Amino acid sequence: MSRKLNIKNILNGILNSFISRNNDVNGYWGIGKIYTLMINKKVNEVEIDLINKNISPKEEEFYYRISCYSQILFDKLKGKDVDGNFLKSVKIIASCNNLNVDKRLLNTIYLKIIAIDVNNKEYAIQNVVSCRKYDPKSELKSTRTYEN
């Protein structure tokens, strides 16, 4: 398979895993927690940098999961014989048009993962998900334990 297809397949897998209900932050669905971050910080976009392991706006509770996804990215690249230094940027961007603080209403979150290689070629995958603001009173907390 070509390097381009390998990279796009890896990005697709990471984005779909990121959207999954199995992606939790301190026991709650990661996307719901990201949406809550948007509301709390009054921003319409959250950017996660998988190369530098950062999130903007900054929020400590996400760093462990970001580190995990960064490791997954590099493991998958290595598994497909793609040099980890070939990609100079890999970012997951979550955005929404309207911040709806009503916990009962769903809001549309647009998600994309964008990678840029050393030749400035861009690879992008997009998806859309609906979610509510995270609410620990109405959600079941995951019983998984993490090392953080």
**Cβ neighbours for 111, distance < 8 A, ≥ 6 positions apart:** 15, 18, 19, 31, 92, 93, 94, 126, 127, 128, 129
Lowest-confidence region among 60-74, 97-111, 127-141? 127-141
Determine how many CB atoms are found less than 10 A away from the CB of residue 100.
16
Q: What is the pLDDT of residues 40-88, one digit of tens each?
A: 999 999 999 999 999 999 999 889 989 999 999 999 999 999 999 999 9
pTM of the model: 0.84
| Total residues found in the chain within this entry | 148
Please state, in angstroms and rounded to a whole number, the distance separating the CA atoms of residues 38 and 65: 17
Lowest-confidence region among 6-10, 33-37, 63-67, 113-117? 33-37
